[in-house]
Amino acid sequence: MLVVTLAAVVVSSLFWREHVSVRSIENRLALAQNRWIERAALDWARVILRADIRSGPADHLGEPWAVPVVDTRLDETVTAGAKISDPSRAAMLAGQISDAQSRLNLASLAGPNGIASEQNVAALRKLLSLLGKPESLADDALKRVLAATPTVVNGQLVPAQRLPLTRLADLAENPSFDPGTLAALEPYVTVLPRATLINVNTASAEVIAAALPSVDLSAARRFVARRERTFFRSLSQAAEQIDGRPVLPLSMFSVGSSFFLVRGVIRYDRVESQSETLLERTNDRVEVIWQHRY
């Protein structure tokens, strides 16, 4: 009996190890398949953005790129012939392209040669006030951006003291930017590789109100409501739809964008991955700037 028991334990152990090895291989295969679907989705996003530029310089929320992709089951063509007839191995994709220039860009706080952009700093201060946060945080953000900006002194290039910000979450190194503050800023503030303009066709009411000193949040919300029925090919057209018809400075606003965020969720077999990718569109080219996976 002892020998039989020992043999059964040994055989069970071998079967268990084999089961774990098979599962590990299946998981790696599913992850590789997941990455393949992710690359295909990004290629699709780049094609959509390239095609969009041919319709004109204005970018707005009524264009194909702005339509979200809800949970969509993929067929064998998209999954490279993988057998997905089994519901437990279904490949699902969901995601959306959003305009990164619909937000205030922290990179715009500093102008050439490390000189602060008073317009953008004032816009960030007003946004913080609208969100019920201390306006002094704008000065903290400015100091961080300036520290990452090279300057020229007496004809000599002085390297930056800090690495540039890549994401809003990088401000967490400053205790003033606690998780609650960063969460409040996240829908309205971003970090892009260079200074950019705010797209008046896609910006939220909070961002528009922050960037225009003479416009309050209620007026900005009325403008956004009117914008749902149309879009603007010029800043003068947009200004006519804002109460008081303020001047939209060319140094702050535009009607088009170059940077777009692609967020996606992919589920295949037992693997689920989320990613966020920043794309830059220049003329007829769309390039990946960075990608983060979760």
| C-alpha closest to that of 59 among 211, 198, 212 | 198
Residues 6+ apart with CB under 8 A from 60: 66, 201, 202, 231, 232
Number of domains in the chain: 2
The helix (run of H) or strand (run of E) holding residue 34 is: helix 2-53
Average pLDDT of the segment spanning 35-59: 90
Q: What DSSP state is assigned to residue 74?
A: -
Q: What DSSP state is assigned to residue 116?
A: B
Residues 38 and 112 in one domain: no
202 occurs within a structural domain: yes
Residues 42 and 60 in one domain: yes
Residues 68 and 134 in one domain: no
Average pLDDT of the segment spanning 228-252: 95
Average pLDDT of the segment spanning 253-264: 97
CA separation for the pair 254, 132 (Å, rounded): 27
User: What DSSP string runs through 181-228?
Assistant: HHHHHTTTEE--SS---EETTT--HHHHHHH-TT--HHHHHHHHHHHT
Share the mean pLDDT of the chain. 87
Residue 117, pLDDT score? 94
What's 45's domain CATH number? 3.30.1300.30
| C-alpha closest to that of 167 among 6, 16, 278 | 278
Residues 136 and 186 in one domain: yes
9 occurs within a structural domain: no
In this predicted structure, the answer to whether residue 269 has a pLDDT above a threshold of 80 is no
In this predicted structure, the answer to whether residue 97 has a pLDDT above a threshold of 70 is yes
**Where is average pLDDT lowest: 5-14, 97-106, 215-224?**
5-14
Q: If pLDDT is split at 50, 70 and 90, which confidence band does 252 have? A: very high
Residues 118 and 177 in one domain: yes
CA 245 remoteness from chain centre: 31
Say what the pTM is.
Answer: 0.86
Residues 74 and 157 in one domain: no
Average pLDDT of the segment spanning 129-150: 95
In this predicted structure, the answer to whether residue 7 has a pLDDT above a threshold of 90 is no
pLDDT in tens, 58-72: 999 999 999 998 888
Residues 247 and 123 in one domain: yes
Residue 283, pLDDT score? 83
Residues 150 and 249 in one domain: yes
Q: 161: burial class by Cβ within 10 Å (0-12, 13-18, 19+)?
A: exposed
In this predicted structure, the answer to whether residue 293 has a pLDDT above a threshold of 90 is no
Average pLDDT of the segment spanning 46-67: 93
Residues spanned by the domain of 196: 103-254
Assigned token pair, 226: 């009117």
